[in-house]
Amino acid sequence: MSCFYLSASHKSSGKTVVSLGLCAAFKQQSFKVQAFKKGPDYIDPIWLAQASGNPCYNLDFYNMADDEIIQLYNNQSVNSDLTIIEGNKGLFDGMSVTGGNANADLAKLLNIPVVLVIDSTGITRGVAPLLSGYQTFDKNIDIAGVILNKVASERHQSKLIQAIEYYTDLPVLGCVRRSKSLVIDERHLGLMPANETPQSQTFIKKIANIIADQVDLNALMNLTCIKPNKQIINTSTIKEKITVAIAKDSAFGFYYQDDLDKFESLGVSIKYFDTLKNNNLPVCDGLFIGGGFPEMQLKVLNANQPLLEDIKTKIEQGLPTYVECGGLMYLTNSITYNKQTYPMVGVIDADTHMTPKPIGRGYVELEPTDEHCWSGVSKRIYAHEFHYSKLKNLNANTRYAFKVLRGVGVDNKFDGIIKHNLLASYTHLRNVEGNAWVVQFVNFISKIKKQKL
């Protein structure tokens, strides 16, 4: 199977745009492309899924065991012609100074060759010691080649290639010229989500054509690894029919694909709805609203009063509900952004205020409290948060599901607001071996459903 790990020397080298262009270019050649993203990222996977035509999966050392990473990679790669893993930050950047959780470690774990994307802005001969250093720093890494990005001119390109060929044995697999056509607007976590950009497919097609013209696709297809083992199928199911409504639109789109897969593997029927267009929730036994950027859609969200009232009524009547980050914001009394305030659902008696700088950003560690309404919750939960908002006017008697051991949560001490059968958290949970939250939530829905019979 053809495969490679796209990494860089540092963050913001342009590897995401290169990854998108490669996924789309190979897709145009009728290859089945499976993309992966390292780390706790929602935005890049949305783009990569659009570019490849297949769901993108996250691989994360923080909340996944090595065997779990390998199994997920194998399960999703087994039927593909090409797998592309996009790294985060630089090749050797990670949480520990001694390594163990960096891109390089993931490439070694999966035995995948690395292609370095080098931001060549303001550099010529200096690219040689940079690459030589990366080659010698960890000789167990198979650096298979380099793609030069943001190349200024033919003269600049010539100098870079001459230096690389003279001082290293690394092949130059592509030279991508600096272009305004290869820029995606940045906001918050980095890239504007593709689900907010109607022109995203036009943009992807444009960069696919540029990348196909400036990168050696045949050389990349020649980078191979061992075909993964047969896919492992999870056959566990729930006994009764359960339906979960999930918000999925331009306001809410941050979901881990394997979390959604887990719902389906349990036999849960998923009904997606649009918070901007649908006037009522679908008929359902449970509700899940993930993260996103609701602040960018405040006027439209507020205008859909029938849905706001329906959600509030259903939750107050006991509908089992789980919301994360943007979903939490949506359920508060109001959201204030750019000095404008719009009323929202109003189940959570607090007001959301957007801030210019992140309030909580990065990995979190949680400990469940006695107030947690689900059963079988792990004693330690490893997840992440990315929010540029904080809650004001929150009731002092608010009950919480989690004590925050690392991170910020709602108030630097607690996260996971409990009200009725609602759990609303700033933390983004991931259904992994150490935190089977989807199973716990579905079991909770089943319990409440039986109580109503």
3-state secondary structure 287-331: EEECEECHHHHHHHHHHCHHHHHHHHHHHHCCCCEEEECHHHHHH
Nearest in space to 20 (alpha carbons), one of 183, 264, 256: 183
Q: Which residue has the tokens 């409440």?
A: 448
Phi/psi at 299 (5° precision): -60, -45
Instruction: Rounding to the nearest 10 degrees, give the CA dihedral for residues 134, 138, 141, 145.
Output: 20
Question: How far, in Å, are 30, 66, 125, 175, 249 from residue 260 at the CA level?
Answer: 26, 21, 48, 38, 15
Q: Which residues are paired to 383 by β-bridges?
A: 364
Cα separation, 90 vs 104, in Å, equals 9
Active site residues: 325
Amino acid letter, 161:
I
Cα Rg of the chain (Å, integer)? 23
Comparing CA positions, the residue from 20, 392, 47 lying closest to residue 194 is: 47
Amino acid at 380: R
Which residue in this structure is represented by tokens 């996260």?
415
Q: Which residues pair with 262 in a beta bridge?
A: none
β partners of residue 377: none
Exposed/middle/buried for 87, CB within 10 Å: 0-12, 13-18, 19+?
buried
